[in-house]
Amino acid sequence: MRASMLGALLAIAAGSCSGEGAEDTLEAALRPPPGEAGTFPAVCWHERTAALERLSAVRNSYLDCTLDADCVLVDLSSGCDVTCAAPVNRHGWTVVQRAVLEVEHAYCADYAARGCPPSIAVCARTTVACQSKRCAAVLPRFGEGAGPS
């Protein structure tokens, strides 16, 4: 299970770094890998999906930008997931942080006590940029500090 989740997370990271599909990256992270949905307790998928949908809705409302300086990275980690930082605009950073706290309280506070394993992402070191008027994660060019963050 961990290998497929790792592969899925790396694919998600690559997609989000291209500037395309930023809205889908969080949603895709919570879908069970093919063939593994039955091995993960349904209550865990429900809680993670509900948490992710809430965070996605809030974050996606704060992706608009004009300049690279409009964009920042925000930590979306909770008791349900340890995730990579995601791009948002500066106006949304506080709102998204508040949503993470709400998700933690509503869905993730007793997640581990229910026997639900958190996902732990392997994150590439990224920066942010305004691409096509949307904040996006950008991988550094080869040789420019591409090591783990």
For residues 110-125, average pLDDT: 84
β-bridge pairing 134-138 and 127-131: antiparallel
- Cβ neighbours around 134 below 10 Å, total: 18
The answer to whether 99 touches 129, Cβ cutoff 8 Å, is no
For residues 27-50, average pLDDT: 67
R_g over Cα of the chain: 15
pLDDT at position 24 over 50: no
pLDDT for residue 6: 34
Where exactly are the structural domains of the chain? 2-138
> Which has more pLDDT, 147 or 95?
95
Name which of 24-28, 63-67, 106-110 the model is least confident about: 24-28
pLDDT at position 124 over 60: yes
pLDDT level of residue 14 (50, 70, 90 thresholds): very low
Q: How far apart are the first and last CA of the chain?
A: 24
pLDDT in tens, 137-146: 998 776 555 4
For residues 33-62, average pLDDT: 80
